[in-house]
Structure 1
């Protein structure tokens, strides 16, 4: 189909309407035809900007993640940094939970690589061996996207038989914790575990080139252990 010479809609408006459709009705309901209907234009107007659906989804994700700026986050200690960065990522995605399948089934696009490089450089500078840096990011990603899935109407356990007294007690107790508090505690536990593991990793897998990626990490991250001001991450 030939593209119209003059677009009837802006690319920015198209992406915002696409996000609105996905938020309201989910990915299954999203199509180029549905988008054109919502915009009250012919499909050719959508094709002027995008030939394929997956390209629209890439820019929808870009819009959702555009406000995350890791360069403004704490740089005193790696645990503070990772906690704040993860909470910001969680907040960006939990506002649009229907995008989780897109994030789970695609690699991080190139426009996120500068942010990821900043994170990797900080971990290198903090003494993490290179072989574990991507592993840490993978597990943080799993924690955050999993938390988003369980932040809505999905419950891990429902209609628990009263004979399973321990599980009944646990499910009642978790209901007293907000979704953001749940991911906060999960992240704290994960990061505390990393702190204990770091000396063992340094002994068993020393980095053969420890200075290769520290140039963009910013100020030194070898501050005294502890989470510092990370208790404020939920309100920051």
Structure 2
């Protein structure tokens, strides 16, 4: 029996994302999303099969609007950096979904389009298939790790303050580094790390 069309996938995704933004991933349940939509839980099952399908809809909602067209005429590093930053900006607005981008990375049309764009730039820069694998995984690892450190990890905010307060006689360099981090803007830190990753890719992964 066909599912009714009175409720669009986008509307369901918006409701699921609102639940996640308020309570994090543990709050995402069929019941919570149904309540957000003002309907019964069993009614929601007429539109989606389970939580996993909800997760996929959320990933598409957040990343579906990411522009995957690299800046024309720019050097390959700048093109890749632009593509990475766009995903960072989209996910950083909803950092609790970071784990979902990993879980659904092979099934998400939005992430697949982004991966195709990145690997196309790398191919144009002379990277063979092996080099593209290394580069793409390094970029994804840095991107998702950096977002988690900025938004979800205890290393951010109070965590940095705690490390900065470590005794200098036991952890002189670590404490000094953490104190320096207090004046580092998130964008500067992200861009600096991304530049380091791209420099490493350029030198080692072709």
Rounded to whole Å, the distance in 2 between the matches of 1:33 and 1:69 is 33
- Counterpart for residue 67 of structure 1: 65
Deviation of residue 101 (structure 1)?
1.3
CA deviations over 1:181-222 (Å, ceiling 9, x no partner): 211100011112222336xx4xxxxxxxxxxxxxxxxxxxxx
Q: TM-score, normalised by structure 1?
A: 0.75
Deviation of residue 63 (structure 1)?
0.7
Deviation of residue 165 (structure 1)?
2.4
Rounded to whole Å, the distance in 1 between the matches of 2:4 and 2:122 is 48
Q: Does 1:16 pair with 2:14? A: yes
Q: Does 1:56 pair with 2:54? A: yes
Q: Which of the numbers 170, 176, 201 marks the counterpart of 2:177?
A: 170
**Count of paired positions:** 197
- Counterpart for residue 100 of structure 1: 98
Alpha-carbon spacing, 1:11–1:121, altered in 2? closer, same or farther (3 Å): closer
Deviation of residue 81 (structure 1)?
0.6
- Counterpart for residue 29 of structure 1: 27
Alpha-carbon spacing, 1:176–1:153, altered in 2? closer, same or farther (3 Å): farther
SS of residue matched to 1:151: helix
Alpha-carbon spacing, 1:75–1:54, altered in 2? closer, same or farther (3 Å): farther
Extract unaligned runs of 5+ from structure 1.
202-236
- Counterpart for residue 202 of structure 2: 195
* Conserved 8 A contact 1:79-1:191: yes
SS of residue matched to 1:12: helix
- Counterpart for residue 121 of structure 2: 122
Q: TM-score, normalised by structure 2?
A: 0.85
Kindly name which structure, 1 or 2, has the bigger radius of gyration based on alpha carbons.
1
Rounded to whole Å, the distance in 2 between the matches of 1:11 and 1:66 is 13
Deviation of residue 119 (structure 1)?
2.2
SS of residue matched to 1:45: helix
Q: Answer 1 or 2: higher relative contact order, Cα 8 Å, separation at least 6.
A: 1
Deviation of residue 72 (structure 1)?
4.8
Give the stretch that moved more between structures: 94-103 or 68-77.
68-77
Alpha-carbon spacing, 1:127–1:9, altered in 2? closer, same or farther (3 Å): closer
